[in-house]
Structure 1
Amino acid sequence: MLVLRRKLNESIMIGDNIEVKILEMDGDQIKLGIEAPTDIDIFRSELYKTIQQENNLAATQEIDLSTLFNK
């Protein structure tokens, strides 16, 4: 893991087209601004983990196709 120190209004670049900027600091919280192309999904890590769990669950469930065609 890369660890960097940044001050208010400073930023870091990820690759050529993602910028993460420190917008505000309030006690133990910071507000980040992220500029990235619209085709890149950005999620909070806890939401991303939930999405991955739901996708894994959906991928492992069996579907009874006969119910779709026997109407």
Structure 2
Amino acid sequence: MLVLTRKIDEAIQIGDEIEIKILSLQGDQIKIGINAPKHVEIHRKEIYLSIQESNNEAATVSPSILDQMKSQDFNLK
């Protein structure tokens, strides 16, 4: 992990397209701004993990569901 120290209004550049800027400090919270292209998804870590978990659950198909689909007749007339 790279650890950097920044002050308010200072930034970190990631590649050519992503900039992270320190906007303010209030107590134990830091407000940051992120400039990135629209195709780059940006989420809080807890939201990202929730999305990953949901995607993994959706990708897991129960064997009983597969058996039900096999037993049905899908012939269209």
Please confirm whether the aligned pair reaches a TM-score higher than 0.5, indicating the same fold: yes
Matched with 1:50 is 50
Inter-partner Cα distance in structure 2 for 1:14 and 1:53: 27
The answer for unaligned runs of 5 or more in structure 1 is none
Question: Higher Cα Rg: structure 1 or 2?
Answer: 2
Q: CA RMSD in A?
A: 1.8
Alignment deviations for residues 2-35 of structure 1 (CA, whole Å, 9 cap, x no partner): 0000000000000111000000100110000000
TM-score, normalised with respect to structure 2:
0.81
Q: Take 1:59 and 1:23, find their aligned partners in 2: how far apart are those partners?
A: 39
Equivalence for 2:38: 38
Equivalenced residue count is 69
Distance 2:59 2:20 in 1: 33
Deviations 1:20-63 (A, max 9, x none): 00001001100000000000000000000000000001101235
Question: Percent identity among equivalent residues?
Answer: 57
Structure 1 stretches (4+) deviating beyond 2 angstroms? 61-67
Gaps of at least 5 residues in structure 2 are none
Indicate the residue corresponding to 1:23 in structure 2: 23
Matched, 1:2 2:2: yes
